[in-house]
Amino acid sequence: VSGQYLGSTATLLCAPMVHAWWPSIFYLFGGLGIMWGVVWGLIGADSAAAHRYIGAAEREYVTASIPTLPRVEIVPWRQVITEPCALAIYTAHFCDNYANFFIISWLPKYLVDVVGLSLKESGVVLLLPYIMPFFGVLSAGQVSDWLITTHSWEVVTVRKVMQATSDVVLSMCILYFVLVPAPTAQEFTVVMAIGGFFKSMHICGYWTNIVDIGPRYAGPLMGVSNTIAALPGVIGNLVT
């Protein structure tokens, strides 16, 4: 999951390409996507047991960690849609994506209109805020496991703490720019880097909680959650 943030950072490094010839970015990432699709088709496998490129120790560890569950014959859609714990996940996912789409849509314009940077410069300034979530996810995963295994915290408590930390810290970072209406590029970078680091902790919140509450129905749960969480991409900019 953390790798997605490295991909976002890589796109920012290509800001000079956009400035020089904007179609180049589409050719570059379209070509990389095709190449990765070929690689994935060659090395991917249905399971760890069938994978040709992992060692025996890793294969045994992964296989032993996967619970044996009966095949899903009928999805209990009523519970998937109405269960309170599922509704909590959908709400958190919706709010998180609202923040995501808000940041993606408005940060470039904010950097140009308020901070006073050019489009080329904004790509450089956003590097740190966009790479910090990579470290945030890895840290949250380690801390979550440490709290559960070493300090015997309940799993649900850890999920709530990670989700609350993600939401509160990111909200405070965004509110900072309301209180400081004309930040410098350095202020912007530091505040958003902090926000990005803690924001990514939601992966150890609602995201992982889907598997906690319904391992047999993680697919339908994630499908419903992603559908609801896509709505901010449609209505978020209009409402904002």
pLDDT band at 174 (very low <50, low <70, confident <90, very high): very high
CA distance 54 to 140: 26
pTM (2 decimals)? 0.85
How many Cβ atoms from other residues are within 10 Å of residue 90's Cβ? Answer: 18
Query: Angle at Cα 67 formed by Cα 66 and Cα 68, nearest 5°?
Result: 120
pLDDT in tens, 63-75: 888 777 777 778 8
Q: How far apart are CA 109 and CA 212, in angstroms?
A: 39
**Model confidence band, residue 17 (pLDDT cutoffs 50, 70, 90):** confident
In the chain, alpha helices (H): 3-13, 15-20, 23-43, 56-65, 77-82, 84-110, 119-125, 127-149, 155-179, 185-199, 206-213, 218-239
For residues 98 and 226, is the Cβ–Cβ distance under 8 A?
A: no
Asked if 137 and 5 touch (Cβ cutoff 8 Å), the reply is yes
Q: pLDDT tens digit string along 189-214?
A: 999 999 999 999 999 999 999 999 98
